[in-house]
Amino acid sequence: MKNKITILILTSVLALLALSSIQTYLIYNSYQLKKAAFISETDNAMSNIHTKKALDDLFDDWGEDLKNHLADYQNHRISKNEVIERLQNKADSNNVAYKKQYQEELKKLDFGYDVNYKTVITSIIILKGSKRDTILTNSKGKETRLFGEDFDNKEAITINKSNWFSENEFIGTVADEVKTTSYSLEVNTKQLILIKDWKRIVLKRLASLLITSILLFLFVIGLLYYSIKNLITQKKTAEIKTDFINNITHELKTPLATLSIATKSLKNEAIRNDASKFDTTLNIVERQNNRLQQLIDQVLTNSLSSEDIVLSKQSVTDAVYFSELIEDFKLSTQRTDISLELDLNNSEVMLRIDKFHFTTALFNILENAVKYGSENPSITMKTFMKNGMYTVQISDNGIGIPSHELDSIFDKFYRVSEGNLHKVKGLGLGLYYTKQIITAHYGTILVESEPHKGTTFTIKIPVT
């Protein structure tokens, strides 16, 4: 049964992990879709800006300047580096007006969030037939900003890549002859935008999905935890009930067996004719019958909850009551090896208790101290007043109770065990009944214990 529960728990955990992975994957996909939709929405809104005549004119002006510089380059009047330097200077000059115009157009869109834009030249290539002459390239990770803001590309988003092809001519001198030469020009650019706090904006749009997913995930974990805990509790309850049935069966077998022998003996002619033996056998029948009745009464009475117990309270003096209780317990144990010490409250206190039930509750604790005691049981009962509550402490030098079992000892039918075997027979109702009696008196009971060092029960009841 234990292996089945372990397999069930492992299977449930694996299923939960699989569900979590699927949910994480779906949320991630939703995040990517929201991100793409957000960027597309921003890009579409900005696309009209790029077609504004004022901005196109600035780009065309730079393009004309590019052709002039390339003509000088091909006539060997300037180098590639000088071409790039002059193009960058021209771009920087035009960029002042470009950024001003661009910002004005952005304000009209009123996004509600900051957007930076820039156009970067990735390459400039001259084509003459099959020959390629690369003027500029970003292969080394460097970029040449044409227009827009200067920002780090790590958080930037590429919204467009464009290729500009044109057929051009330049006039040059070849062997003292003026000649017009044609060439093709390829200019590759890309447009990037940087949306500040774009992750926060996308996550905000996903907030309802994220919150729902988290709540659902927590609900599934809670449900799984509750189910597993309930399963373990039911298994534990079933084991306790089985143990109780085994114990009550064992307890009933002895008097029943004795009764069986006694009744057979009563049929014996010799015993029936001997008055002394007949009376002895009849007394055995009566005692075993009383024992059976006590066992049944113990099960019925000790199974009552605090709400079901009807108390018949009376006023008692603490010194007289506890002194009598200790004397009665000494007589009931019939053992001379028990050390039983009573340390009473300094001043006399009147208690309102049900003597029968309260005495039975204390007897249960004292009997356990003897049952689970050491070879020479030593028990101390101490009484005192604290914070308006009358406190009774019962300490012993017994085998103690493991810490993991302390929370369960007051449960119905529960018995502290060592391994799978109970060393002391019982029904597991004594401490349950004790707690119900104390609760019925509007009191509390606590237990402190350490294995091999003993146990202390602390009972507190109000003084009225």
Domains of the chain: 54-196 (no CATH), 207-302 (1.10.287.130), 314-462 (3.30.565.10)
Report how far Cα 195 is from the mean position of its chain's Cα atoms: 36
- 454: β partners: 450
Mean confidence (pLDDT) of the chain: 82
- 124: β partners: 136, 187
The total of other beta-carbon atoms located within 10 Å of residue 146's CB is 23
The DSSP annotation for 235-304 comes to HHHHHHHHHHHHHHHHHHHHHHHHHHHHHHHHT-HHHHH-HHHHHHHHHHHHHHHHHHHHHHHHHHHHT-
The DSSP annotation for 320-355 comes to HHHHHHHHHHHHHH--SS-EEEEE--SS--EEEE-H
Which H or E element spans position 28? Answer: helix 2-50
What does the angle CA 111 – CA 113 – CA 115 come to, to the nearest 5 degrees?
A: 90
Crossing angle of helices 2-50 and 198-205, rounded to 10°: 120
Q: List, for residues 416-461, the tens digit of each pLDDT value.
A: 654 333 444 444 567 888 888 899 999 999 999 988 888 999 999 9
**pLDDT given for residue 425 in this prediction:** 47
Q: List, for residues 70-113, the tens digit of each pLDDT value.
A: 988 988 889 999 998 998 999 999 989 988 888 888 888 888 88
Total residue count of the chain as it appears in this document: 464
Is residue 416 within 8 Å of 431, Cβ to Cβ?
Answer: no
Crossing angle of helices 430-440 and 275-302, rounded to 10°: 60
Q: What is the mean pLDDT of each run of 10 residues along the chain (464 residues)?
A: 75 85 88 87 81 84 90 89 90 89 85 87 88 81 80 84 86 75 89 86 87 88 86 74 63 71 82 82 77 64 61 91 88 78 90 88 88 83 92 91 81 58 51 87 92 91 86
